[in-house]
Amino acid sequence: MSAVDCQGLRKVFRASVRRGVLSRENSEILALDGVSLKVERGVIFSLVGPNGAGKTTLIKILSTLLIPDGGSAFVEGYDVVKQASKVRSIIGLVLAPDKGFYSRLSGLENLIYYGRLYGLSKSEATRRAKELLDLTGLGEDGLRLYEEYSLGMRAKLSIAKALINEPEIIFLDEPTIGIDPLSARRIRQLIKDLATGGRTILMTSHNMWEVESLSNRVAIINNGRIVAEGSPQELKERLQLTYRIEVEIMWAEAPDMDLPVAIGERGYPVVSLTTNRPSEDLVKLIDEIRSRGYSIGTVRVQEPSLEEVLTRVLSG
Ligand SMILES: Nc1ncnc2c1ncn2[C@@H]1O[C@H](COP(=O)(O)OP(=O)(O)OP(=O)(O)O)[C@@H](O)[C@H]1O
Ligand SMILES: [Mg+2]
């Protein structure tokens, strides 16, 4: 059984468009247009795509906050509509902005409150809350009032809250948004550790580097439809994205080569080529340069990025 299994999910929102002070038209927005998706247990699965693509809507349906207009969705085998309370007990959810905190309570008190809601005893809830404050890097800030929290502190507390019930599956909608680089790194490590420990993560992010470094699988969603899915490597291979090799030649003038030569950042000539067999072609190129009696400076091999995949898929 998959951790998440949805078939043909549809969600329509009624939206109002204002064309003037008195004129208002009602229209319909197809936020999800037949989304089918399987997420296997223990993987980190990312949803990526432009603003308004439907990522948050999908996460809200899977976490029982929205009811779909069509299709079906199961989380750990439980129906998100018919068995919503069961689903809620086994998931953790981070949505930004998180409106679920009491501003006059400290971060710690808020977490204890949620722990109690999940049925933990007072001492268990306190122990778990403190552990999560350390795990997310909030530490001593846990004692301050929530209303005084910075954006990043709020984001960390919301991750801590999502983990209070030791969920099997964790939905993270843009978990590192507004978080400083060192804390974001800690959160990425936390996400990895959770997956290594057997938890399933379904997340969204606009940071393609982050998605690439974390995810086992990625789905690209556009206009409410999944338009590509696979591991980051598979997606790159499927699109036949190429590597770029650049070799600097320690030679003051234009060297005699059969490939394009440009002047690099350090003022030396640089030969470059694009290929989908980077290792073989790099060796060949180096041999070629040496055989002409030139010496080699820096060598750079640029891998195709997930950002290129996204750009390519979305631009058709
Ligand atoms: N409560 C709502 N009422 C009306 N329309 C909505 C509502 N929630 C979402 N939508 C619309 O549904 C579409 C999908 O929105 P969604 O929030 O799922 O996008 P997203 O992929 O999460 O985008 P982003 O990257 O900006 O977070 C958008 O057109 C959005 O305006
Ligand atoms: Mg969103």
Phi–psi pair at 34, nearest 5 degrees: 85, 65
What confidence score (pLDDT) does residue 194 get? 92
User: Topology of 4-230 in CATH?
Assistant: Rossmann fold (3.40.50)
- Give the mean model confidence (pLDDT) for residues 4-22: 91
C-alpha 54 – ligand 2 centre gap (Å): 7
User: Is 4 in contact with 73 (CB distance < 8 Å)?
Assistant: yes
- The reply to whether 4-230 and 240-314 are identical in fold is no
Which residue puts its alpha carbon closest to atom 30 of ligand 1?
A: 52
The pLDDT confidence band at residue 253, using thresholds 50, 70 and 90, is: confident
Ligand found nearest the CA of 33: 1
Phi–psi pair at 123, nearest 5 degrees: -70, -40
Ligand found nearest the CA of 57: 1
C-alpha 7 – ligand 1 centre gap (Å): 20
pTM of the model: 0.88
- Give the mean model confidence (pLDDT) for residues 225-254: 89
Most confidently modeled range among 11-20, 54-63, 277-286: 54-63
Convert the pLDDT of each residue in 41-97 to its tens digit: 999 999 999 999 999 999 999 999 999 999 999 999 999 999 999 999 999 999 978
CA distances in angstroms from 205 to 83, 86, 120, 190, listed in the order given = 28, 27, 32, 16
Ligand found nearest the CA of 9: 1
C-alpha 95 – ligand 2 centre gap (Å): 8
Ordered DSSP codes for 123-148: HHHHHHHHHHHHHHT-GGGGGSBGGG
CATH architecture type of domain 240-314: 2-Layer Sandwich (3.30)
Convert the pLDDT of each residue in 154-213 to its tens digit: 989 999 999 999 999 999 999 998 888 988 998 899 899 999 999 999 999 999 999 999
pLDDT for residue 101 is more than 90:
yes
The pLDDT confidence band at residue 98, using thresholds 50, 70 and 90, is: confident
C-alpha 283 – ligand 1 centre gap (Å): 49
pLDDT for residue 116 is more than 70:
yes
Which residue puts its alpha carbon closest to atom 19 of ligand 1?
A: 52
Indicate if the alpha-carbon torsion angle 241, 247, 253, 258 is positive or negative: negative
Q: Which long-range contacts (CB under 8 A, 24 or more apart) does 150-157 make?
A: 151/178, 152/178, 152/179, 152/180, 152/183, 153/107, 154/97, 154/98, 154/101, 155/94, 155/96, 155/98, 155/179, 156/183, 156/187, 157/98, 157/101, 157/107, 157/110, 157/111
Residues with Cβ < 8 Å from 284, sequence gap 6 or more?
none
The pLDDT confidence band at residue 3, using thresholds 50, 70 and 90, is: very high
| CA atoms in the 13 A half-sphere facing the CB of 211 | 31
Q: What percent of the chain has pLDDT over 70?
A: 100
What confidence score (pLDDT) does residue 252 get? 65
Convert the pLDDT of each residue in 25-36 to its tens digit: 888 999 999 999
Computed over every residue of the chain, the mean pLDDT equals: 93
Higher-confidence position of 229 and 17? 229
Q: Is the CB of 217 under 6 A from ligand 1?
A: no
Q: For the chain, give every domain's residue range.
A: 4-230, 240-314
What's the token pair of residue 297? 């400076």
Residues with Cβ < 8 Å from 249, sequence gap 6 or more?
255, 257, 261, 268, 269, 270, 271, 289, 294, 295, 296, 297
Q: Is the CB of 52 under 6 A from ligand 1?
A: yes
Residues forming beta bridges with residue 172, ordered by sequence position: 94, 203
Q: How far apart, in whole angstroms, are the C-alpha atoms of residue 71 and residue 89?
A: 22
Helices vs. strands in the chain: H and E counts, helices first? 10, 14
